Structure 1
């Protein structure tokens, strides 16, 4: 069994889709799945992660060859709108494009039960749920790495690791920071200054002194090493890889109460969930002042993340591929 795992645009992008695709290959290696990223006609299953313009011709080629196609639904299409400049125009087009590819694949992988339900409502074909997983090899040693000088101060620090979009809860992050001037709020991740609307860039540049956006960071362990609380106020997710990563690194999580987090993130057990800015402020302050609760949520978050390691994801992918090959 050989998997064709295209990476045609991977070098040009950042974000969760790229991380997930790279993690899948590590998962392959852990369980012995043969794969290639180079263009080839010699494969049994093509597994698409990047649904850009090249995905459609690759899908047609696969159909002509009588090969099986698996598509990873990192986005259902719902979060294409109101994200970047002019997304209100191309967002609906992209949503239809995604659905076309989903409907013409042999297997669709949703990364959460929430996204699976959305896809099934649109009758896109056979859908299963499979976590993105967490790359424990990359994260191990998070509590031992040296803290960079610029983050060595003793202030209580709230962190986030995500691309900087309005949809990711930018307003909420800034407003919580404004309400807690004695704490440091640091959001790591690309700012996309050429793609984000002008208003978003101005908002980022006009934040109070204790709220910063240092941009992309090579070693993703650093946010989890320096942070006391992980604040992830995103309005729309399919799963949220960085939330899993923060959980693995024993960070107390404060997240928005959205459907993507139902079931696996549980309020006051392995996270605190909020709906309004006032609730976010209350939860962050509670974790700042209650060390026992902070430690309990962090420990439970780590226990949850242990079920998402790449070896376990690799075993599930391998089983799914075999089932796809044996299907009519």
Structure 2
């Protein structure tokens, strides 16, 4: 396939991260994994610019949701009259408590309805996010397919060497004793990610180190608000994210809204026991089998006690989650994405044939 990939990743990184190291979170992770995997399979991908004169794409794809994405999809779809698939990582629910001002969040539904109307097919990370998108009543009624974000299992796997490297990093950079138990969260620092809960749980466990790995460049005031405990650390961006997972003893993810939760996939692949909020989007994880799910502060406190005190429970959660995450291997996900892209191309061609026959 000839693929025209449109995204605002580079622009967002310049505006938000301002040239510093870091990522934009799950959307960027998934997009990079897909582009790398599709190129390895021989597909030709051109990003954010027209194909050479006399050539054209079979399909336009886009994972981002900004106004430039809308303009570029509209322009190139008119230019090439080809299929379009949008990877809908963004729904109305998860825009609240992020980097958008609250005054704009109330218009999110109307905006997203217009954003996604250009697609022959929409791909979204979970059944839950599909239900949210269906409720938008997108005017063109494109089919919506839930496909996991996936995880690179060749990269995300437990390593004793990487565990030691992260422990040494914490000791060198943050003066954390290498023998202390580490409770990890991995996420860009936004309000909706539950940093307040992370903080209040940390208060209850002075014997453990609570380490939040992820950019806080757009949320420095938020970081300052919750950075006064001796056992809580905000590292910012860390180059080797796999080492972070390997170096922790439990993964605590109190986010209030997700469309799947890529860090949960990564934590499972790296053999971490998981404690997370009981969100409907985590239907792919079973409470008490793959993780512990809780609803409030008291539940998180008791859940963490269970994980840290019970070796049998820890091993059960680790082994079951590791088995479960195998179905999310990025190579299996790319197989699904390829089939959907080809289906969208056929749909577009059939539509053009019908128009021509008229």
State the TM-score, normalized to the length of structure 1. 0.92
Q: 2:313 aligns with which of 293, 296, 307?
A: 293
Tell me the CA shift for residue 254 of structure 1.
0.4
Q: 2:242 aligns with which of 209, 221, 226?
A: 221
Distance 1:4 1:19 in 2: 18
1:169 aligns with 2:194: yes
SS of residue matched to 1:138? coil
Distance 1:168 1:178 in 2: 18
More moved, 90-99 vs 318-327: 90-99
1:4 aligns with 2:4: yes
1:158 aligns with 2:179: no
Tell me the CA shift for residue 31 of structure 1.
3.7
Q: 2:277 aligns with which of 256, 268, 271?
A: 256
Tell me the CA shift for residue 7 of structure 1.
4.2
Tell me the CA shift for residue 55 of structure 1.
0.8
1:102 aligns with 2:116: yes
Distance 2:109 2:134 in 1: 15
More moved, 238-247 vs 132-141: 132-141
- What stretches of structure 1 of length at least 5 have no aligned partner? none
Tell me the CA shift for residue 139 of structure 1.
2.1
- What stretches of structure 2 of length at least 5 have no aligned partner? 14-23, 352-358
Larger radius of gyration: 2
Tell me the CA shift for residue 9 of structure 1.
3.0
1:36 aligns with 2:57: no
1:147 aligns with 2:168: no
Which residue in the other structure is 1:305 paired with? 325
Which residue in the other structure is 2:73 paired with? 59
CA contact (8 A) 1:136 1:310 kept: yes
Which residue in the other structure is 2:260 paired with? 239
Runs ≥4 residues deviating over 6 A? none
1:138 aligns with 2:147: no
Tell me the CA shift for residue 173 of structure 1.
0.6
Which residue in the other structure is 1:21 paired with? 31
Distance 1:261 1:94 in 2: 23
How big is each residue's C-alpha offset from its partner over 1:274-310, in whole Å with a ceiling of 9 and x where there is no partner? 0011110111111111011101101111111111111
SS of residue matched to 1:159? strand
CA contact (8 A) 1:27 1:313 kept: no
Distance 2:160 2:92 in 1: 37
Tell me the CA shift for residue 178 of structure 1.
0.5
1:196 aligns with 2:219: yes
Tell me the CA shift for residue 6 of structure 1.
2.4
SS of residue matched to 1:128? strand
Tell me the CA shift for residue 204 of structure 1.
2.5
Tell me the CA shift for residue 176 of structure 1.
0.9
1:212 aligns with 2:233: yes
Distance 2:11 2:306 in 1: 41
Q: In 2 relative to 1, CA 46–300 (structure 1 residues): closer, same or farther, beyond 3 Å?
A: same
Tell me the CA shift for residue 237 of structure 1.
0.3
SS of residue matched to 2:86? strand
Which residue in the other structure is 1:279 paired with? 299
